[in-house]
Amino acid sequence: MISLTLFIILLCFLFYSGHGLVSISVTPIIVSKSGDPVTIHWTGIDSPSQLDWLGIYSPSNSSHHNFIGYIFLSTSAGWESGSGSVSLPIVNIRSKYQFRIFHWTESEVDPTRMDSDHNPLPGTKHLLVESKEIGFSPGRGPEQVHLALTGREGEMRVMFVTHDGKENSVRFGLNRNKMGQIVGTRVSRYEREDMCDSPANESIGWRDPGYIHDGVMINLKKAKTYYYQVGSDSGGWSDIFSYISPNLDSDETIAFMLGDMGTATPYKTFARTQDESTSTIKWIKRDIESIGNKPTLISHVGDISYARGYSWLWDNFFTQIEPIASRVPYHVCIGNHEYDWPMQPWKPDWSSLSYKKDGGGECGVPYSVRFNMPGNSSEPTGTRAPATRNLYYSFDMGVVHFVYLSTETIFLPGSKQYEFLKHDLESVDRKKTPFVVVQGHRPMYTTGCRNRDVELRERLVEHLEPLLVKNKVSLVLWGHYHKYERFCGISNFTCGEEFPVHVVIGMAGQDSQPAWDTRVDHPDDQVFPQPEQSLYRSAEFGYTRLVASREKLRLFYVGNHDGEVHDAVEIRAPVYKLFHSCHPSVQPTICFQLQRIRHCPPFPPPPPPPSSDHDDDVEIDPRYGVDKRLVPSGPNPLHN
């Protein structure tokens, strides 16, 4: 036994002597604000490997395998010398950080330990050095501040996170130096035991979420700049933020609509993160600033943070969106990556290919607690977890009635959601809000690649589309497919100016789906058809900007690569006039004119699709009745 112990000690000595005396330092040790950067410097690594890596740990006593992220030392210039440095922002997740350096070589790659993209996770066998603990300065005040409408006149909701859940308030007013109105907050949280599956309920994915505070600023004057601050005297106050109060009677509506954005991290982790989300936020922030003193909102149609059970990514997401979500209301609907898990309550036989494990075991809990949307929709989880909330709701903003749906919970006739949608659409006052915009996650129409959603789409078309057509919905927005695609006014795959325009807007950040065009490095990827119903599609990242007046609604597709508009559609309002504007024979009543759709502005036509030498092998797409062919991104050549 003694000889074995001596042998192990000798091996360790030989290994570490081959790497010299490795040192690591981190500055600063106390970080002032969540999202501020730290710099990690190391020296003394002999014979460095290209796979040597820096592990990021929080809490600081986490086991080696339970990092929140990692960076290869080879990303630092001059790493071959055994010294280097990296700087990265760190987000406050209410526990201290530690950094560790490990030696790792190709011969030690374990093919059984892969991340969600099938990349090998780094090995932790050879620890070289650990840093001191890094913390955040006290008295900073709450973090992750974001707004939402309540659906009631003269109100604005604000939510934020603290580490202890003690009493916090919201103070606000029209004068930045005199915020004399104060309201309290309601506090909620969730526990590891509320999670429904792995990794959310395991040590590798769970981190304490803190306490979520929820307060409502009331008695607001319309369309005024309000200043506000959240916190307490004992725990500190946040920065001072501002917003334009809502004006439900405005003759103009401005909104930013997007889907599937996610969050960017400065490190690799167990699941793919979304670097492009930073560009989306950058351009939306530019647009908000250019609008000036006008109310607006942001609408995110599902697949919010892509945390998928790795809870610190929710903290990362809310820190990332705070610069815009603290200024304008941020509204959401649920997607598969917030909800789906093996034992979800509603899972009919036909949905087995759609509803899987995409939520990473979260079963909608973080989504339900961290947001508070208008209405009181909910569905039980069938577990100890709280009911899933924020499923379907609606509100007016200016000239638009916005409706949000859940494609992840039951929507068939007889369900609470179906009855909500039917009653809501039938109750819209089109003189007050001439436009109706419906939003959900999984689309009715797409030329995307996922055959697994075919049966779900068929039921959306069968059961929900008649409600949209009957009630003359103006615009329907979907996510789920990480592309932009605009369809004609459509009903049952048939174009018509009187039908709702459908647009897929899931291009705000996530990039895990292949482009429609073949790529040089993926020549065998399937090519998807663009039928005549699809008027414009693009694989460029971006978002959409909605601008509506009483006469028309315009939706603009803005590309992240240049911040410019690349597609637009204009939808005319139904026109309501008093009897004296109608034919003399008409009794005092309301005249109704069908909406008309105009596609604008003009864009140069794309190059024609390449011809095929294999006409005998043409495969017909049964959904649209056209053969599968290569069509470049952009306007449909069939319409030029």
Domains of the chain by start residue, with CATH: 12-136 (2.60.40.1930), 250-599 (3.60.21.10)
Give the percent of the chain with pLDDT over 70: 84
Residues 6+ apart with CB under 8 A from 385: 190, 194, 195, 196, 363, 364, 365
Average pLDDT, the chain: 88
Residues 6+ apart with CB under 8 A from 114: 120, 121
- At residue 352 the predicted structure's pLDDT band, cuts being 50, 70 and 90, is confident
Closest by CA to 555, choosing from 357, 299, 265, is 299
Residue 2 CA to residue 299 CA, distance in Å, equals 66
pLDDT of residue 340: 95
Select the highest-mean-pLDDT range: 5-9, 603-607, 608-612: 5-9
pLDDT of residue 33: 95
- Mean pLDDT for 379-388 is 93
pLDDT of residue 530: 83
pLDDT of residue 118: 85
Query: Could you report the per-residue pLDDT of 146-166, keeping only the tens digit for each?
Result: 999 999 999 999 999 999 999
pLDDT beyond 80 at 470? yes
pLDDT of residue 129: 97
- Number of Cβ atoms within 10 Å of the Cβ of 5: 9
- DSSP letters, 280-312, are HHHHHHHHHHHH-S---EEEE-S--S--TT-TH
Burial of 577 (0-12, 13-18, 19+ CB in 10 A): exposed
Side chain identity at 71, as an amino acid letter?
Answer: I
- 419 DSSP β-pair partners: none
pLDDT of residue 279: 97
- Token readout for 460 is 């959306």
18 or 577: which leads in pLDDT = 18
Q: What are phi and psi of 615, to 5 degrees?
A: -60, -30
pLDDT of residue 173: 98
Closest by CA to 37, choosing from 46, 27, 47, is 27
- Token readout for 353 is 């290919």
Query: Could you report the per-residue pLDDT of 201-260, keeping only the tens digit for each?
Result: 999 999 999 999 999 999 999 999 999 999 999 999 999 999 999 998 899 999 999 999
Asked if residues 383 and 193 have their Cβ atoms less than 8 Å apart, the reply is: no
Which three-class secondary structure state does DSSP give residue 337? helix
Continuous segment of H or E residues that includes residue 435:
strand 435-439
- At residue 119 the predicted structure's pLDDT band, cuts being 50, 70 and 90, is confident
Closest by CA to 385, choosing from 416, 348, 345, 358, is 345
Residue 202 CA to residue 214 CA, distance in Å, equals 28
pLDDT beyond 60 at 605? no
- Mean pLDDT for 74-82 is 95
Closest by CA to 53, choosing from 35, 69, 66, 37, is 69
pLDDT of residue 539: 87
Q: Which letter, b or e, does each residue of 41-66 get, where b requires 16 or more Cβ atoms within 10 Å of its Cβ?
A: bbbebeebbebbbbbbbbbbebeeeb
Task: Return the DSSP state at 97.
Answer: B
Instruction: Specify the length of the chain in residues.
Output: 640
pLDDT of residue 627: 40
- Mean pLDDT for 36-60 is 97
pLDDT of residue 511: 86
pLDDT of residue 521: 63
Rounded to the nearest 10 degrees, the angle between the axes of helix 277-291 and helix 312-325 is: 20
Residue 383 CA to residue 370 CA, distance in Å, equals 19
pLDDT beyond 90 at 25? yes
- At residue 574 the predicted structure's pLDDT band, cuts being 50, 70 and 90, is confident
pLDDT of residue 353: 87
pLDDT of residue 452: 79
3 or 553: which leads in pLDDT = 553
Query: Could you report the per-residue pLDDT of 479-534, keeping only the tens digit for each?
Result: 999 999 999 999 999 999 999 999 999 999 998 666 666 556 656 654 677 889 99
- At residue 626 the predicted structure's pLDDT band, cuts being 50, 70 and 90, is very low
Continuous segment of H or E residues that includes residue 242:
strand 241-244
Q: What is the pTM of this model?
A: 0.88
